[in-house]
């Protein structure tokens, strides 16, 4: 992991439907400095069920990876 002066998430959290066709971003994650874990933030009011996927954030943190 490289050091950065930004507070952008290192990863994005998605809920994915059963056939992997629809990905909906539901949150973001920041990798710990020691790379052994992550802080995950999911906004209030988001209901979660099903398959969750965490992907590395690339470029614009709001775009689907």
Considering the chain, what percentage of its residues have pLDDT values greater than 90? 65
- Contact call for residues 12 and 29 (beta carbons, < 8 A): yes
* 12: pLDDT strictly greater than 60: yes
* 61: pLDDT strictly greater than 60: no
Report residue 20's pLDDT band, with 50, 70 and 90 as the boundaries.
Answer: confident
- Contact call for residues 28 and 41 (beta carbons, < 8 A): yes
pLDDT in tens, 35-53: 999 999 999 999 898 999 9
């Amino acid at each position: 992991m490289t050091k950065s002066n930004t507070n952008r998430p290192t990863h994005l959290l998605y809920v994915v439907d059963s056939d992997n066709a629809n990905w909906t971003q539901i949150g973001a994650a920041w990798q710990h400095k020691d790379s052994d874990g992550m802080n995950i933030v999911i906004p209030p009011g988001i209901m979660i069920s099903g398959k969750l996927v965490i992907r590395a954030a690339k470029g614009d943190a709001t775009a689907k990876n």
